[in-house]
């Protein structure tokens, strides 16, 4: 049995889950998310809990069991608390301005870089820190990865955009004679 799939999901007050044949709709105080309902997994709502069970013991059903539970759990957490990722910008002359869904960055290129976030994502700028917020965990992570890819941190001085909790392995520079 899947260790993740067998865990029940507690449904907080204010959150409703609607089970259809092809999608699961999760509505909460922060918004609404639609999760695909995988074919080999059944979702039952009982006593304030959502329980996932697989329909058979085939390999694909075992794989989808934990996946369905994780997708549903992330949707429940997203509509109640929302997700966020923090990015740090390091480098002499690097600047970040803006907020909302558009940020302007000076990243050492000959031109300014403008990033526009997708709908459902909010960007906050505090000095040299960018916070990506949203209710969809996948979309928050994808947006943070796209911003980081604009100027990845280099290994010698650490200049670039990195995750706040990322540890950079630094290389030694040239050895002088």
Q: What is the CATH number of the domain that holds 90?
A: 3.90.930.12
Is 22's pLDDT higher than 70? yes
pLDDT number for residue 1: 56
Instruction: Identify whether residues 88 and 19 lie together within a single domain.
Output: no
pLDDT number for residue 129: 96
- Assess if residue 155 is contained within a domain: yes
Residue finishing a domain among 80, 108, 127: 80
Angle (deg, nearest 10), helices 59-80 and 137-149: 80
- Per the structure, the count of domains in the chain is 2
Instruction: Identify whether residues 104 and 151 lie together within a single domain.
Output: yes
Residue 120 to residues 1, 46, 66, 149, 154: CA-CA distances in angstroms? 35, 30, 26, 20, 31
pLDDT tens readout for residues 130-173: 999 999 999 999 999 999 999 999 999 989 999 999 999 999 88
CA angle (99, 101, 106) in 5-degree steps: 55
Instruction: Please give the structure tokens belonging to residue 50.
Output: 């959502």
Instruction: Identify whether residues 89 and 159 lie together within a single domain.
Output: yes
Instruction: Please give the structure tokens belonging to residue 116.
Output: 């526009």
pLDDT tens readout for residues 2-15: 688 889 999 999 99
User: Can you list the positions of beta strands (E) in 100-153?
Assistant: 102-106, 113-116, 121-126, 129-134
Whole-angstrom distance, CA of residue 90 vs CA of residue 56: 51
Domain interval for residue 48: 9-80
């Amino acid at each position: 049995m899947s260790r993740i799939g067998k865990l029940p999901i507690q449904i907080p007050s204010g959150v409703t889950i609607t089970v259809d044949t092809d999608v699961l709709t999760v509505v909460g105080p922060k918004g609404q998310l639609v999760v695909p309902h995988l074919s080999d997994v059944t979702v039952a709502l009982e006593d304030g809990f959502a329980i996932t069970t697989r329909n058979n013991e085939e390999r694909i059903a075992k794989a989808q069991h934990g996946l369905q539970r994780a997708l549903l759990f992330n949707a429940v957490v997203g509509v109640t608390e929302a997700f966020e990722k923090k990015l740090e910008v390091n480098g002499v002359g690097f600047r970040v301005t803006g907020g909302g869904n558009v940020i302007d960055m000076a990243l050492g290129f000959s031109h300014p870089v403008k990033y526009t976030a997708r709908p459902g994502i909010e960007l906050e700028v505090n000095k040299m820190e960018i916070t990506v917020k949203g209710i969809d965990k996948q979309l928050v992570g994808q947006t943070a990865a796209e911003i980081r890819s604009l100027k990845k941190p280099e290994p010698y001085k650490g200049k670039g955009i990195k995750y706040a909790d990322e540890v950079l392995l630094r290389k030694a520079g040239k050895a002088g004679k």
